[in-house]
Amino acid sequence: MPGVAAQQPNGSGPGLAAEARLAAELAEERHVALELQRAILPLHDEAFDLPGLRTMVRYLPASRAGRVGGDWYITADMPGGHVLIAIGDVAGHGLAAAAGMARLRGALAGLAITGSPPERLVGWLNDLVRHVAPEHTASVVAGYFDPGSRTLTWAQAGHPPPVLVRGSWARPLDPPPGILLGAGEEEYTAAVLALSPGDLLLLYSDGLIERRDRSVEDGLGTLAEAVRGISDPERAIDAALSALGVTDLEDDTCLVALQVL
């Protein structure tokens, strides 16, 4: 009839079209971020050897749709015979976090070729975040394992401490001082850990131990108890994931288990 506006059928209209476009954009961003992760992070289905170490890595994406995060790791033998070991986490989710992960991982891999000590490497990463990517904060543990002396020299920036398993006990390492990357200008220091054959070192991102209904301290205690007495890298990772209830991950989770040979 003249003068009467045509009504939109139920389930249609500009609002639903905008929602569909947004959903498509989010799906595309998630796809790009996942492809970026896969291109940069080498994923291993089985344990592998590095000089003086038996190594296992497990990377679990968040179960919630669209939750692509900035977790990353490095395990690589260096020209001088040492092994570079690192794990980190860029705050946030989506393509921006994945891009930040790629930037930090690539920077550390390149800087480590200089042979500079871990505290210097972490300091340089802090400079990078503060001056090049101030929109991010990030955490990291980075160090060198010397297979000859079986020592780990490491530094950290606001990252959960590795767990050392030795014989029948397990405990988190006492971390050297170090604030989050991008959080300030404080200097970083390193710690040296003497290791023995059969020791196991477990590095992980905070997605493993952080939950809304559980404190970080409780999560860390549960982790140490779960891996106590386990020296096999694959068994240690399985025990950690089983104990900490990872069926409904809110964040990406990365674990690196290193058995000293």
Residue type (1 letter), 236: A
pLDDT at 29: 64
Which pTM value belongs to this model?
Answer: 0.84
Please name the residue ranges forming H helices in 41-181. Answer: 95-112, 118-132
Q: Can you tell me the distance from the alpha carbon of 129 to that of 108, in angstroms, rounded to the nearest whole number?
A: 12
HSE value, Cβ hemisphere, 13 Å, CA-based, for 16: 6
In this predicted structure, what is the pLDDT of residue 119? 98
**Per-residue pLDDT, 1:** 47
d(CA 86, CA 146): 14
Indicate the domain borders of the chain: 14-260
Q: Which pLDDT score, from 0 to 100, does residue 169 have?
A: 96
Give strand ranges (E) for 51-93. 53-60, 70-77, 83-90
What does the pLDDT read at residue 190? 98
- Per residue of the chain (261 residues), give pLDDT as tens: 445 444 555 555 667 877 778 777 766 766 666 666 666 677 778 999 999 999 999 988 765 554 566 889 999 999 999 999 999 999 877 777 777 888 899 999 999 999 999 999 999 999 999 988 777 789 999 999 999 999 999 999 999 999 999 999 999 999 999 999 999 988 999 999 999 999 999 999 998 998 777 888 999 999 999 999 999 999 999 999 999 876 555 667 899 999 999
Tell me which amino acid residue 199 is: D
Predicted local confidence at residue 253, as pLDDT: 85
Fold held by 14-260: Phosphatase 2c; domain 1 (3.60.40)
